Each structure stands twice: as structure tokens, then as C-alpha cells.
A and B are shown apart, each in its own frame.
Chain A
């Protein structure tokens, strides 16, 4: 999915295009670019986010232009592959959202006719086709070019010789918006709502032409009357698909994320492919990450130790850079959602220097982490807008499960039972989401407190850390994750009736010691909440409140438990009226040390 924008009017196009692109970033943000026309077309594009492009790009003068923000699903984001794309003469620029299925044929044919291609994208055939058909009328040239194209598209075309923009669509969204002596074209309405709320929708096969003071829409060669819609909603409503915040939308996407990760797994090919990761000489794992990804790393450590029976270390990338440790025969795994986390990148470079094999787990195709690493496993989470990571964390866990399950040591029996359980996971997660109402109700009570402890053992200790992190980053309540056994070494001094403790239980050998810890906490007068499997009747007698999740094998309990805690944090923050998607002082990816 990509976002496109076009502007023509009396104002400078550059700042308007960049602002609109920022609004389109929910559609993807691995690269972006704009083209502005004034005595020739000037293009500025790069494999960076819009905010970064704003800072680095030179001033481009001109009052007509187009822009694009990209989310690569295959092919590498690079300055060359970023849009807009130009024809040979540099007089025609195109931005495109969609996939041209017959581009290889078109490209071969156009190359044969002498056209020069510079990128690897399917899109680049469009400006060259338009160039081929251009005969003084941009609109007819675009129509002729689209005749040759198969696939899906929403495109905007800018040409130096004509003061207009031409747009067309097939199976990809595009709208035209009317301003005062200026007009817009965009992938969606929220992109332009800062400037105008009058919108014309294009149908499949329509060609739209806008100038500073006119709009024309043609259908099968005949001009049709345009119908202008007044938009009453505010920016971002649509992008959130009904939800109040991106975070809740992304929490709800998790069953699909898990299902998507599992697809391709069953055929066995993905497993065999992963298995090639494990050379004979690897006898230890080192997992590096920061923030939420570090909690995934800690869970990965537990999974690895249990399944592989080899030493696994999980380290904070930001601290690893100060340590000197023997790393012979170690596979290093770096986890970073954005692929741009500065500390993680630095640690990876250091590892490469000492000759370690480095594997990156990231959500962004072609990100820096993937370029440094020997191999990259992509999480299938899609763009994540909310600063608080939710679905990307779950996707990281899924990749870690699969990676560890691909190890030859695991054995067919365990592999089969885990595969069966994994297949059930999307539905188990859906059940957690279906229980949202009860969690929300309890979160409202919790939001009244200033300090909350989360305790867990074994594989659920990192879940306690993650639950506390979610709470503090979005609700500003002080959440503290602790290993349950460590509570008596200090934090007991903080317990009391105004400090609730949330205990995370799993059906493994940590269950009994957790019960002991719960009783200890209760004796100190803290309200205690247990997060446990359905039907755990013993616990109800001991604790003040039970939140249940569906029963899963203990090794998968971090998935359902974390998602319940994400909802808990979300609803606590909502109760407090916090700006959930964009908490104070925080940025989505941390590109400084």
C-alpha cells in the first residue's frame, strides 16, 4: 500500500505536498518523494520518512507537484526506487499506488524502443508509456498508456508542458478535492482535509484532469458531470477504520497478523528455509534489542533455552555496546521493528566486525538493519502507527517461535504439538479481544492508582516488563515489571493498599511458586489481580480480581497474556484521557543513541 498526492494552485506546492504526505504515512513510510514543476520538473526522493525528507530536502519552487509515500512489500526501498518516476526526457513525472502485472513485457518492449529505465519498479513503465504516446495532449497520452497496462493503479501525472495534473484509477483509491483557486488529488480524503472538505470520487476507469481553477472527469472518453461531496468528518477518522485510536485498531489486527505469519508455514517450505539458518557450528544465541523488542528478545531467550537446549543470551543493544564478551560460534539475532534503532544498528555492526553471523528481525523491508544483517526475517505486521508497539511485538514473537521451531534439535513430536497449538493461536487471541469489555471495566478501576506492579516468572517475567512498559508509556501511570521472586528483595517496602499488583500465571512449573508470591503480596495489603487461564478456580479464592485468557501451552502464554495487558493499558490510558497514539516525549523509532 502506498499513498499519493497532487497539488496545483497559486501557493508553493512543496510544503503542502509534504504536509499531505505526512497524513498519508499510515499507508506506508519506507520511502517518499515529491516532484514539483516550474520550468522543468525537479524531483527529490529518498528511502526515508517524510519528516526526514522535510529536513534534508532543498527548496523546490513551483505551484504544481505530486508526492508519494511508499510501503514496499517486495523489492527494496531505495532513493532510485522511490517515487515520483520520470520519463527519458524528464518532462513527465508519475506517482503510482498499485501493481502493474504486465510491466515486464512493457518494460522489454519500451527498452527495445530505446527508452532508458533507471529503477527496478513496475511504476517506471508508466511515464515512459505516456512519453511514447505524448503528442501535445497529456490526457489522451495517459488514456493511451493506461490501455496498455494490466493490473491495479491509482496514478497522478505531472508534465512540464501543461499546467495540469492528470489522475486515473483502477482498483486503487483516489479522490479529487476542490479548493479556492487550487485543487488536489489524493489517495484518501484525510490527506487533504487540512485544506478542503469538498471531494469528488473517481470511479474505476475514470480519468480526472485538474488545473488551478477547473476539474474535469472523463469516463470512457466522455466527460461526465462531477458530483461534489461535502466531507463532515475529521482527519484520521477513516484511517482508523472505526476505532478511536490506531493503538486499538492495531491490537485488534493481531489475530490476522498471527494468521498471516502462519500462512506459508504449513507447506513446510518456510520451515526448511529457516532451518538453513542453523549451521553445524552454532552453539549459542545472542539476541539484541531495545524497548518492547527487548521484551520479545527475553521471551525468545526462554523459548530458545527450552527448545534448543543451548545457551541463549538476551541483551539490551544500548548496553551491549559497552561489553566485551566471547562470541565464537554464536548466532546473533537483532530485533528492531523499524530496522533503524540506532543502538541496535551499532551493536550489529560491532558483531559483524568480530565475525558473528547476524540475523535481523524487522518489520520494514529494506531497512538499515536488513542491509547490515547476513539474513533478515520480516515480521508480517504491516505499518504500525501507534507509538506504543503492539502488533509488531506479537509478530516478533511469532517469528521467534518459528525460528526456534525450525531448529533440527526440536524433534518431530514437539514440533507437531506446537504447530497444532500455533494454529489455534489466532482464535485464542480473538477470544482475548472478545473479552475486551471486562478488561476495559477493570482498567477503569486501575487508572485511579499511581503505581502498579506486574509480576511474573519464567517466560512470563518479560511479559510483566512489557505490560508495565505499555502502561507507563501511554497512561503515564508508573508501572513496574518485576520477577515475582525478586519482590521481597526491596519492592515489598512499596506495597500497600494503594499499590495494586498484577500477577501473570502460566500452566507450567512457575504456577506453584507464583501462588506463594501472590500470598506474600496479599499479606502486605496490596490489591492483587491475577491474569490466568479460564477455569482456574483455585486462584479465585486467593486474589481480589481474576482476568482470564484462553488456555494455551505455557510456551505460548506470552502471546495471550501480553495482548490482555495491551488492552488493560489502553483502557487505563483512555480513562485518563491520554493522547494514546502519540504519548508525550516519545517517538516511534529511536534513531539516536
Chain B
């Protein structure tokens, strides 16, 4: 009860690691992104329309959609590019291990944290393989 007074969110069930590894990360198709010649990827994250304050603001300021640019480092950019709906999380772990000569755990822990963060921010979705391969019903 005290935690509710403090405004703490109740923690929900945690997905077992085994199931998380089988999910397929896929980029949010509404998010625009580009890759620079240096290999870094930037994504434009829409932030919603700007607030126009006051009478003057409402009359004279155009209501332009706001966006924020996020630039990934090379490793984050590589992960972003691999989130193409074809690789499971397990596949991404393997790819990182091979590319950067990491042990499984060295690749797995930061990758899972990174994917969870991307998922929370709506940059990617994490879907079961079956959901991606299921044919649409007529």
C-alpha cells in the first residue's frame, strides 16, 4: 500500500528469457531512419504537435509536428539494421558474437536491455515468429 502512495508502478510478470530469445524484433514502419556514410543510423522520432501557448501563439504560430533525432552508435546502428523482421533475438546474439568476438553472455545482456528499451520507446516491436509468418485471414 505504501508503494502505491509513493506512486510506484506495480511490477508485472517478467517474460522468461527462453521466450524472449525467440521473439523477432521489427522496426516501427512509421519511423523514418537513414544511415550515414560513417555507418551510424539516425531515426526521427515524432513527438506530437507543438503546444501553442496564449492567444498570440494560437493565432500566429503554425502547428508543426515536433520530432527528435536519435543517432545510434555503430553497434546500435548494426542492431537497428538487423531488426528487419527476419532475425530472432537469438539470431542477433549470434550475429553480435561473431562480428565483435564476444562471448554469448557479453552480447546477450546488453542486447536484451537495448531491445527492451527500443521496444518501450516504440521504435521496434517484438513479435513471436508465428505472428509474422501467419497468413492474413480472408
Q: Are A and B co-members of a single complex?
A: no
**Chain B residues near A (Cβ < 8 Å):** none
**Chain A residues near B (Cβ < 8 Å):** none
